[in-house]
């Protein structure tokens, strides 16, 4: 018997097709579908198709079954005629959209496993000195980043921060929030049917700056140029609204050892003792680090783009074989289990390299240059990541 | 006196400008706040202000409202009041002219109009609508979003560079380079791999009350056709349509 390695896209398309055929009736169709622009990416030859308008749920399902896309997108915007050329369309509004991606979080250890793999000589490297493969000098060497459980937990925390601010500061209703695991390295949050739906780009830029604390003036909290008495007076109360209250509460958390059941007066007293005994630079630097902790790490380019197309919920991610999954309860959501939708049919693959990874509460790997039979969803994950190829005997 | 001021401001904002605003009495640190304004309306009113002071990240925002002091509200509505008054004057009916002055109307009406330029030169290739917006901008008046969009698209299509256009806007009172650059580049099609936006046609400009048609317009339907008629006398109407490229990305 001869071993034959199957092309990545051939295998993925077959797997995706099987999934969509079984799942198509359960696919949740985006609201107001006919008003949205639809686009998709094909398997090889890779091609991006945009500016589609679909009249009905049936048309969407037919498109999926017919094309079996590598990725499927829908616009956050609503148009009069989504298939018209972009400058002839009438823009009617857009959902608020937020993207929390591991790539945008400040560096911390073990958020992702990352390494390099050379598609030419099939070697794996932890680090690169320059942009070429250290072995065969190929320039096509690719960086592979795999989100860890810890990394995805950090993204979750950002989502929780985000929902809290959108609710409290912007008066949005939790019922209008839809949170999704993106299918790869992060989370999406969309808000449909809010009073901000018709907000234009300048507003969305302001909103993004608000969330990321871009341009925030620390001297609203602490100002060196006024007397200590005035500083104590100016310092926001922990019961204050908006960012000021958040800064104050976070400051207490990091500075006061036991501030429970305290009132405004005792808060000011403790503040007096701290402010009069600390150097201004130290106070400032602790406020700066609070600012870093509090800011919400959204991808600003996504939120401020009123014509963006976004991955459609319930569709598979071509880079992992995981689904973009609606999150019902963020605290209980476990992306690397809940977003696994492919079968566990035994699938034989040749793995170039894989770090130890966890899917559906089971650990796999590490593997290096070996043939192994794994459940379809693990095999698909590794193939989609470019780390393995399926084997067929002929 | 102070409460009376506040009442007047509230009245103007609510009745004249039709904005939602609530009176409050709230102290935060050293600041005493008098009003809550809807955050969307606030961002629209403050969008032309340059300083970070006006960014919502530096305001107290709660439940969709921005906390403001009376003097801040006054600063925010100043320009809006100006445009509102201008609009009302424009819309008010022209009074009847007394009989004994009507002969003057005849004289003015029958006066020969200045001759339309026959050849395009630097100065006369801009149609009246564009000239008007340029003049308004040069007089440091605040342009509406649509006026800015029209002027930007127009200048870009008639050969000005992105830098030229940004420079042109840089003299306006609340110029913010970051925002201006973003908008100009967006319209020019440099953002997000898009093609440039088209210049609105005469019909659209007319519907936005920006058309100041005179003889020199000479039956054209798009400001970019202005002046070209004199040069290319023989062109067919289908060729003219070609001035407005249909684009897509
Ligand atoms: S009709 Fe067109 S060209 Fe003539 S003035 Fe109005 S806008 Fe300008
Ligand atoms: Zn190599």
pLDDT confidence of residue B239: 34
Spatial neighbors of A360 by CB under 8 A, at least 6 apart, are A336, A337, A340, A377
Question: Residue B236: which pLDDT band, with cuts at 50, 70 and 90?
Answer: very low
pLDDT confidence of residue A309: 93
Higher pLDDT, B110 or A277: A277
For residue B189, the enclosing domain spans: 121-232
Share of chain B above pLDDT 90, in %: 15
Asked whether the predicted pLDDT for residue B112 surpasses 80, the reply is no
pLDDT confidence of residue B13: 85
Asked whether the predicted pLDDT for residue B173 surpasses 60, the reply is yes
Do both A192 and A315 map to the same domain?
Answer: yes
- Quick check: A216 and B57 CB within 8 A? yes
**What are A54-68's pLDDT values in tens digits?**
999 999 999 999 999
Asked whether the predicted pLDDT for residue B219 surpasses 90, the reply is no
pLDDT confidence of residue A41: 96
Do both A251 and A363 map to the same domain?
Answer: no
**What are A273-284's pLDDT values in tens digits?**
888 888 889 999
Q: Which ligand is nearest to the CA of B213?
A: 1
Q: Is B18 helix (H, G, I), strand (E, B) or coil?
A: coil
- Complex ipTM value: 0.91
B27 inside domain:
yes
Do both A386 and A289 map to the same domain?
Answer: no
Whole-number Å distance between alpha carbons of A143 and A117: 6
B42 inside domain:
yes
Question: Residue B204: which pLDDT band, with cuts at 50, 70 and 90?
Answer: confident
- Quick check: A243 and B57 CB within 8 A? yes
pLDDT (average), residues B88-116: 69
Find, in chain A, the residue whose alpha carbon is nearest to that of B199.
A87
The bridge status of strand A48-52 relative to strand A38-41 is antiparallel
Do both A128 and A275 map to the same domain?
Answer: no
pLDDT confidence of residue B192: 53
Whole-number Å distance between alpha carbons of A163 and B67: 21
- For chain A, list residues with pLDDT below 50: none
Domain boundary among B24, B55, B84: B84
Whole-number Å distance between alpha carbons of B197 and B214: 26
Do both A232 and A360 map to the same domain?
Answer: no
pLDDT confidence of residue A259: 65
Interface test with A, best of B20, B22, B39, B193 (most A CBs within 10 A): B39
pLDDT confidence of residue B97: 74
For residue A187, the enclosing domain spans: 3-104+148-209+299-393
**What are B87-96's pLDDT values in tens digits?**
788 777 777 7
- What is the signed CA dihedral for B16, B17, B18, B21, rounded to 10 degrees? -110
Do both B128 and B225 map to the same domain?
Answer: yes
Asked whether the predicted pLDDT for residue B122 surpasses 80, the reply is no
Do both A173 and A244 map to the same domain?
Answer: no
Asked whether the predicted pLDDT for residue B45 surpasses 80, the reply is yes
Do both A225 and A247 map to the same domain?
Answer: yes
- Quick check: B55 and A206 CB within 8 A? yes
CB interface of B with A, residues 188-207, below 8 Å: 192, 194-195, 197-198
B152 inside domain:
yes
Do both A99 and A205 map to the same domain?
Answer: yes
Cβ atoms < 10 Å from Cβ of A262? 14
Asked whether the predicted pLDDT for residue B120 surpasses 50, the reply is no
Q: Which ligand is nearest to the CA of B214?
A: 1
Q: What is the residue-averaged pLDDT of chain B?
A: 76
A213 CB-side CA count, 13 A: 23
pLDDT (average), residues B5-26: 86
Do both A12 and A73 map to the same domain?
Answer: yes
């Amino acid at each position: 018997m001869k071993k034959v390695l199957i092309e990545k896209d051939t295998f993925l398309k077959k797997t995706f097709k099987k999934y969509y055929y079984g799942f198509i009736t359960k696919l949740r169709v985006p609201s107001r579908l006919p008003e949205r622009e639809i686009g998709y990416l094909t398997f090889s030859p890779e091609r991006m198709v945009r500016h589609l308008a679909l009249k009905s749920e049936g048309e969407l399902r037919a498109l999926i079954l017919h094309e079996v896309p590598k990725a499927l997108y829908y616009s956050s915007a609503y148009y009069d005629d989504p298939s018209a050329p972009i400058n002839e369309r009438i823009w009617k509004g857009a959902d608020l959209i937020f993207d929390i991606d591991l790539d945008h979080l400040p560096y911390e250890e073990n958020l992702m496993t990352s390494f390099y793999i050379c598609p030419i000589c099939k070697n794996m490297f932890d680090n690169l000195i320059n942009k070429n493969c250290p072995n065969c000098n190929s320039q096509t060497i690719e960086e592979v980043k795999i989100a860890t459980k810890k990394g995805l937990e950090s993204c979750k925390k950002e989502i929780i921060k985000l929902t809290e601010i959108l609710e409290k500061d912007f008066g949005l209703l939790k019922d209008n929030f839809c949170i999704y695991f993106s299918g790869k390295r992060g989370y999406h949050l969309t808000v449909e049917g809010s009073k901000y739906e018709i907000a234009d780009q300048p507003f969305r830029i302001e909103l993004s700056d608000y969330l990321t604390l871009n341009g925030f003036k620390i001297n609203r909290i602490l100002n060196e140029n006024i007397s200590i008495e005035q500083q104590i007076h100016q310092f926001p109360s922990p019961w204050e609204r908006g960012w000021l209250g958040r800064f104050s509460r976070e400051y207490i958390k990091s500075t006061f050892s036991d501030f429970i059941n305290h009132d405004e007066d005792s808060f000011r007293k403790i503040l007096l003792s701290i402010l009069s005994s600390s150097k201004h630079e130290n106070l400032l630097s602790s406020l700066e680090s609070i600012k870093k902790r509090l800011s919400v790490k959204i991808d600003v380019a996504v939120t401020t783009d009123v014509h963006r197309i976004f991955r459609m919920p319930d569709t598979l991610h071509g880079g992992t074989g995981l689904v973009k999954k609606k999150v019902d309860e963020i605290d209980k959501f476990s992306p690397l289990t809940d977003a696994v939708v492919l079968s566990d049919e035994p699938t034989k693959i040749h793995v170039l390299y894989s770090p130890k990874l966890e899917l559906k509460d089971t650990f796999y790997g590490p593997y290096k240059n070996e043939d192994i039979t794994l459940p379809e969803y693990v095999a698909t994950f590794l193939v989609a990541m470019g780390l393995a190829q399926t084997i067929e005997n002929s | 006196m102070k409460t009376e001021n506040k009442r007047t401001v509230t009245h103007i904002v609510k009745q004249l400008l039709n904005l939602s605003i609530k009176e409050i009495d709230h102290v935060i640190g050293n600041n005493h706040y008098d009003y809550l304004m809807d955050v969307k309306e606030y961002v629209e009113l403050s969008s032309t202000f340059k300083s970070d002071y006006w960014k919502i990240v530096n305001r107290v925002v709660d439940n969709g409202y921005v906390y403001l002091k009376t003097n801040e509200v006054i600063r925010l509505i100043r320009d809006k009041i100006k445009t509102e008054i201008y609009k009302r004057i424009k819309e008010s009916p022209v009074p009847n002219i007394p009989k004994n002055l009507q002969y003057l109307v005849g004289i003015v009406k029958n006066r020969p109009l200045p001759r339309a330029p026959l050849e395009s030169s630097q100065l006369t290739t801009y149609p009246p609508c564009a000239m008007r917006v340029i003049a308004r901008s040069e007089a440091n008046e605040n342009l509406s979003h649509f006026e800015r969009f029209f002027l930007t698209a127009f200048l870009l299509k008639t050969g000005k560079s992105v830098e030229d256009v940004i420079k042109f806007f840089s003299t306006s009172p609340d110029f913010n380079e970051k925002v201006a650059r973003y908008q100009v580049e967006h319209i020019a099609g440099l953002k997000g791999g898009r093609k440039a936006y088209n210049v609105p046609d005469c019909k659209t400009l007319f519907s936005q009350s920006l058309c100041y048609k005179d003889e020199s317009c000479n039956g054209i339907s798009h400001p970019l056709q202005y002046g070209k008629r004199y040069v290319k006398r023989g062109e067919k109407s289908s060729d003219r349509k070609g001035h407005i490229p249909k684009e897509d990305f």
